[in-house]
Amino acid sequence: MPDAAVMLEHSDASENTRIAERLRRYADLLERQGVDGYRVRAYRAAASEVDALSEPLSDHLHRGGVEGLIRLRGIGRGIAAAIVEMLTTGTWRHLDRLEGELAPERLFATIPSIGAVLAKRLAQMLEHHTLEHLAADLRSGEADFPGIGPRRRAAILSVLDQHQARHPSIPSLYTRSLPEPPVWLLLATDALYRRKASAGTLRRIAPRRYNPTGEAWLPILETRLDGWNLKALYSNTARARRFDRVLDWVVISFHRDHGRERHCTVVTETHGALAGQRVIRGREEECRAHYKTTLAEQST
């Protein structure tokens, strides 16, 4: 098993990785709005090219200006302008605006049977704000959704199934058919995040939820390891707050260069054979095997 802690310690996300991640987020938002596939593919292709570069984008900009960026494969004038904005200001106003327009409560409110009040409640309760994750949570039957009885649940799932059928290129997130990072990598990312967050060495962001003063208090870790792009942060959700687990539950987002971003949650198990151990929700059996192997290796 690789020495994950050492590998992660020296793999803070590069400038190029951060910009590629933003380009992918923008492509996902465009796709969600039903924008033509050419633009979506262009931004995803540009993100892949940026990730593959051997030197920082800022070096290309310094040497050749905007034209130096345009000469790179897959970077047109519009995407080059976006990259310049991100390099010089640290933000991208088009992405910020689009994310604001597609705030989770607005996205959920587009579904029949979900009004404004319920949409806001779902945005506060759910850890992941996509229609696919909403379908996954409704299907699991494990979550308690006030205001959603059996009939409304069935009606919402029917609409979400139709959405999935219209977008077959988007993988169903309530199946486990796609590859995921190994448990050792996710647990190592979780350990590194919590250690750096406790030490106060991570960049902090200002979450939109439960943050009336706009304080930048939420630590965020972005890194890349073993072909996976990883992002970790505490779970600032209604459920985590209700159980006083905000600083225990860690949400890790992950994707490969050409893949769609997905998520998992790492928690401290409170009962059973894994009590006291960090586990990945939905992958408890793999975590049990991981800890058993680790214990065996330590005893030899």
Distance CA 191, CA 286 (A): 17
Q: Is residue 174, in this structure, part of any structural domain at all?
A: no
- Ranges of residues in the chain with a pLDDT under 70 are 1-13, 33-36, 99-103, 127-129, 132, 140-144, 163-178, 257-260, 300
Nearest to 218 by CA among 244, 190, 246: 246
Q: Is residue 191 located within the same domain as residue 243?
A: yes
Beta strands in 226-282 (DSSP E): 228-234, 250-255, 262-268, 278-280
Do residues 26 and 98 make contact, with C-beta atoms less than 8 angstroms apart? yes
Question: Is 56 found in the same domain as 29?
Answer: yes
Same-domain pairing of 188 and 293: yes
125 and 188 fall within a common domain: no
Same domain membership, residue 117 and residue 81: no
Same domain, 188 and 259: yes
Same domain, 208 and 295: yes
Residue 118 belongs to a domain = yes
Position 74 in a domain: yes
> Rounded distance, CA 251 to CA 118, Å?
23
Range of the domain at 127: 104-166
pLDDT at 262: 78
Structural domain includes residue 109: yes
Q: What is the C-alpha separation between 101 and 29, in angstroms, rounded?
A: 10
Task: Give the model's pLDDT for residue 11.
Answer: 41
In the sheet that holds 278-280, the strands lie side by side as: 203-205, 218-225, 228-234, 250-255, 262-268, 278-280
210: left (phi over 0), alpha (psi -120 to 50) or beta: left
Q: Is residue 261 part of a domain?
A: yes
> Tokens in use for 48?
């892949």
pLDDT at position 101, please? 56
Counting the structural domains of the chain, the total is: 3
Is there a domain that residue 206 lies in?
yes
Q: What is the pLDDT of residue 69?
A: 94
CATH code, domain with 155: 1.10.150
Long-range contacts formed by 208-217: CB under 8 A, 24+ apart = 208/103, 209/123, 209/124, 209/236, 209/237, 210/236, 210/241, 211/236
* Domain identity same for 37 and 125: no
